[in-house]
Amino acid sequence: MDMDKINQIFDKFGNATVLVIGDVMIDCYISGKVTRISPEAPVPIVNAQSRNYRLGGAANVALNLKSLGAKPILCSVIGSDNKSKVLYDLMEECELDSLGLVPIYGRRTTVKYRIIGNNAHIVRVDDERDEQLKEREKRQFLTTVEQVIDHNHIDAIIFEDYDKGLFSKDLIEEIINFAHQKNIFIAVDPKKRNFHNYENVNLFKPNMKELSAGLNLEDNVALSLDDIQQLVKKFAVEKRIDMVLITMSDRGMAFYDCKNDKFYHQDAFTRRVSDPSGAGDTVISVSTLFLLAQESMESTCLASNLAGGIVCEYVGVVPINTAQLKNEYLKNHSVIEK
């Protein structure tokens, strides 16, 4: 493997249009200094000195896809509030199309406030409403999704589920059925509420916490790789899922290919982890594009593993640096050449 061959892989991403359907949010970082403890309670007082807004959730997946050279189209619901303007401004600044965003009257645009004092993350405040869409709102959103699919050649759909109320069983089923009519690759980044509602998809990517919660496993149960393989195999067969990619933090990644009944595990790479926020967004973006490019599960795991680790070295939610990913992929390709 040389850089020319790696560039050939990444060049294929430029031909991919990916529809990202999911919960969009704003990540707000309020940073300052801590010089004293509050007299009202034993908590630090942060003298705020900067406020930085970034796109998060499904929008961060779109940013990762864009950074990798693909064309993302984002579909989501947002509030009809002041923070929606911040979101629209961020979308414009990042050169992302906002036509797939559906404002809902009375709904709140999700904002995650991270308070950072003396470079330490002190607390996070989530300003959101996560009740499910009303039937009328659901129909409105589904119409938008179908129009986007009808008016664009979509190569893949990524369900980016942050459990904020956008998805329901019937909405998921309708989108999947419509996607199958168009022969579109379907990838899923799940959460617990709808974990079992994603059936007949191509790629399912939970982390270990989500897998354990979704399968109702006891907390802190130490699963061997054999245990994971059997659990994932049973789940994939029941749900008619082609491939399952599990991110396992410091244990690396596991990949199960249901069609060929193959299981593959790759160890984690040593990293200086600063902030794991957004790593899952990066992994689903990279893995989807590698599989669209017809790359092997070993190659897909390597790229996704490296990409997830790279973004963890940065503070805050950031999209993948493609040049860095290419260089690390070249450097570590021997891992899958054994």
Strand (E) positions, 38-173? 44-57, 71-79, 101-104, 111-117, 120-127, 156-160
Q: For residues 97 and 62, what is the distance between their CA atoms, to the nearest angstrom?
A: 10
53: left (phi over 0), alpha (psi -120 to 50) or beta: beta
- Which DSSP symbol is given to 179? H
- Residue 209: phi and psi, rounded to 5, are -65, -45
Is 281 an active-site residue? yes
- Out of 27, 161, 189, 281, which one is annotated catalytic? 281
Which residues on neighbouring strands pair with residue 54, listed in sequence order? 27
Instruction: Output the six-digit token pair for 2.
Output: 């040389």
Measured in residues, the chain has a length of 338
279-292 and 297-312 are packed helices; what angle lies between their axes, rounded to 10 degrees? 150
- Cβ(158)–Cβ(288) below 8 Å: yes
297-312 and 322-332 are packed helices; what angle lies between their axes, rounded to 10 degrees? 130
Q: Which of 171, 186, 213 is nearest to 291 (CA)?
A: 186
Active-site residue numbers? 281
